[in-house]
Chains A and B, each alone.
Chain A
């Protein structure tokens, strides 16, 4: 790339303000690369982050991964130690979403905490979570903001 840059002749006295073409070309190339990387990867990797009711009414959500936040419902947690599958429900307001998840459960997972699950809504309204994140309270206070409503 740099070979093709126009460089002025050495030794010629510069009277007028030169346009530094080399810098313009290299700068624009880098800026364009950054812009392309950001835009292309935003659309390729962004996940919906929605409430349970939004998920229920979402039409485009069958084919893509979404993230849903909610509070783990009391008494809903069922563990299967053999297969390491865990079933539970999360709630937000009056909405309830049943979830299945296979894998290691975070330390602080228990009924009553806020979790964020990522995955897909499967058949019969059960959400298949690929990842399970528990909100880690750096201060032990029971006040977690909900996902922003659009």
Chain B
């Protein structure tokens, strides 16, 4: 038996057990038959076992170069190194669908394994929902887009993977984003279970929160890796282009961020239940939209994926999800009454509500811009598109408002905050922001939006630092050394301080975005030996070009020298690689060197023998802060998510002092 046959059989069996699992779970729950419920849970494990088998079979087909499998022939070649051959598994459409389904089954198995802490009567419906989603992908994989389809003519060699995809960033960022999309299924499954059973009390909230945090963290990582890849491979000097594919990845992230805040309001005050459930449904629907949009050809993107038959299937699936989820939602509305009323806008919950509005507003604007070609073609007379300037002008101010709220929000007390208290807590950060707003223009900065942005980020970062400092000081006053106090503070209140860390990271990231958005320098030049180009304080001199052929890759490398005021800083070697199967598509080895907080980004655009090179050079200020801020956000997400141990209170007095301080702010 060939591996491809094994894989095809495994997929079919996975589908059979997925359907069985749905039936067993639902019947078991309706009839109160514990054996059937248990059987449904076990079928989740079986489905993931079969999907793992299918994935292994596909990887084995790649590694053994079984070009009789059409998918293998289209996405690999004999000369590719083993890691790209393995990664080619998810390089095309069928494989990426298999990857999605595999990840979902593993996460579903994890959810079942961890379900001892989740409310027991929800679990059968969680299982059924997850298996229904899984079933959809399995139907596609078995009947519409099977990665195991064999062709009658077996080619001697495959056509290879697109060279743009042969990059370490490419090995990790698409799977991360697909995993992020997939992970929004879990909160959705818990929400569906809560709506189906009508158990809409606090129990489901905890489960959803933790899974949503996990999704948020995975999606954050996927977005960061995508931006990193774009920056290091594509050669246009930027990291985010507001392309439909990027927008679609951002949409569920924005909605998840909104949910993570508004869920706290529900936890504390029993309000916003309708809104929260709506956000969970929206996040999942947007993640399916993202998965589907990028591979359906619905909207033109610079990334053109294969235009295939699965578009209508995804559209139908999305429609079913929306009809079922929204129908249930409306049916359960009477049980979603708020337990308490809001009292004042100037309160923690008030700031959360406003931040939710802004986040959903950003998501709406981004969605609107993404589907504007469709809207204008349907309702207007002409297909129209919006691109980066639209998003910059709409989302820029909204993000500034968001970061401002991010600074104020954590300082406000629940229910009702006093203005005096607010002022006491934010006067120093406000002063720091004012200093920034005055000093930057005095230093000659005339981009007013940038000045406002920097001031707002200073304020937000300042409030967090000040807040942490006050917490540490209280503990220090009780005899703890500063580092110990900080460790305990964060360790004992992970959600709170993890959240602060995310905020701090976002402020840093925003500073990086503002810096590169407003103060990027760009120069194009044709250089012959000894000539140089000046950019900012730096001069880049052309030294030589080399041309090396190794295996099926030919690499052209320019030798350039960076100098700063006559002093040589560094030699750099930007180049191009030309792959044997893709002569017309050289990929870039961009040289990015970081000098302090500035990136010097040198792209070899063209060359003419060993005599002349055409360069495109960017000086990108503050871009390193984007990656640093992103890492801090990730760390914060992980700290928030990390399971809390049962709390051992070392000093009850101290804990209560700290707790009281937090209530008092």
Contact = CB atoms under 8 A, between A and B. Distances in A.
A141 to B, nearest CB: 5
A140 B162 contact: yes
B393 interface: yes
Given A14-B341, A147-B383, A38 B365 contact: yes
B357 A27 contact: yes
Contacts of A141: 74, 306-307
Contacts of B377: 148-150
Given A41-B393, A45-B386, A144-B307, A30 B354 contact: yes
B382 A150 contact: yes
B390 A145 contact: no
A18 interface: yes
Interface string A105-118: 10110100010100
A82 B344 CA distance: 67
Interface string B378-415: 00111111110110011001100100000000000000
Interface in B331-372: 341-346, 350, 353-354, 357-358, 361, 364-365, 368-369, 372
Chain B contact residues, majority secondary structure = mixed
Residue among A114, A135, A145 with most chain B CB within 10 A: A145
Contacts of A135: 302, 304
A47 B386 contact: yes
Contacts of B383: 48-50, 147-150
B364 A34 contact: yes
A74 to B, nearest CB: 13
Interface string A8-22: 101000100110101
A22 B342 CA distance: 10
A126 interface: no
A107 B586 contact: yes
Nearest to A110: B584
Contacts of B620: none
Contacts of B297: 144-145
Interface in A13-45: 14, 17-18, 20, 22-23, 26-27, 30-31, 34, 37-38, 41-42, 44-45
Interface in A70-89: 81-82, 84
Contact of A139 (B92, B364, B387): B92
A37 B385 contact: no
A46 B376 contact: yes
Nearest to A133: B302
B374 A148 contact: yes
Given A22-B344, A42-B390, A148-B377, A138 B587 contact: no
Interface residues of A, number: 57
Interface residues of B, number: 72
A59 B182 CA distance: 47
A133 B377 CA distance: 21
A57 to B, nearest CB: 12
Give the residue among B165, B345, B374, B526 with the most A Cβ atoms within 10 A.
B345
Contacts of A67: 385
A122 interface: no
B585 interface: yes
Contact of B306 (A8, A48, A139, A149): A139
Nearest to A131: B387
B594 interface: no
Given A23-B342, A30-B358, A47-B385, A114 B364 contact: no
B91 interface: yes
Contact of B385 (A41, A46, A110): A46
B175 interface: no
Contact of A37 (B304, B372, B393, B603): B393
Contact of B162 (A10, A50, A139, A143): A139
B394 A38 contact: yes
Given A30-B358, A47-B386, A5 B372 contact: no
Given A46-B386, A49-B384, A136 B350 contact: no
A104 B304 CA distance: 21
B363 to A, nearest CB: 10
A136 B302 contact: yes
Contact of A38 (B303, B364, B524): B364
- Residue from the set B75, B300, B350 with the largest chain A CB neighbour count within 10 Å: B300
Nearest to B305: A138
B559 to A, nearest CB: 20
Given A34-B364, A150-B382, A2 B345 contact: yes
Contacts of A45: 386-387, 389-390, 393
A136 B303 contact: yes
A41 B585 contact: no
B110 interface: no
Contacts of A149: 377, 383
A103 interface: yes
Interface in B564-613: 582, 584-588, 603, 605-606, 608, 612
Contacts of A18: 341
B439 interface: no
A147 B300 CA distance: 7
A123 interface: no
A124 B176 CA distance: 49
Interface string A85-107: 00000000000000000011101
B453 to A, nearest CB: 16
Given A136-B303, A140-B159, A148-B373, A46 B357 contact: no
B304 A144 contact: yes
Nearest to A35: B361
Nearest to A102: B524
Contacts of A107: 164, 235, 585-588
B496 interface: no
B616 interface: yes
Contacts of A138: 162, 164-165, 303-305
14 contacts: A17-B341, A30-B354, A31-B357, A34-B398, A37-B397, A38-B368, A41-B394, A45-B387, A47-B387, A49-B384, A107-B164, A144-B307, A145-B307, A150-B377
Nearest 5 pairs of A and B residues by beta carbon? A34-B361, A22-B345, A145-B297, A45-B390, A46-B384
Given A108-B584, A144-B297, 5 more contacts: A42-B369, A46-B386, A81-B526, A136-B302, A149-B383
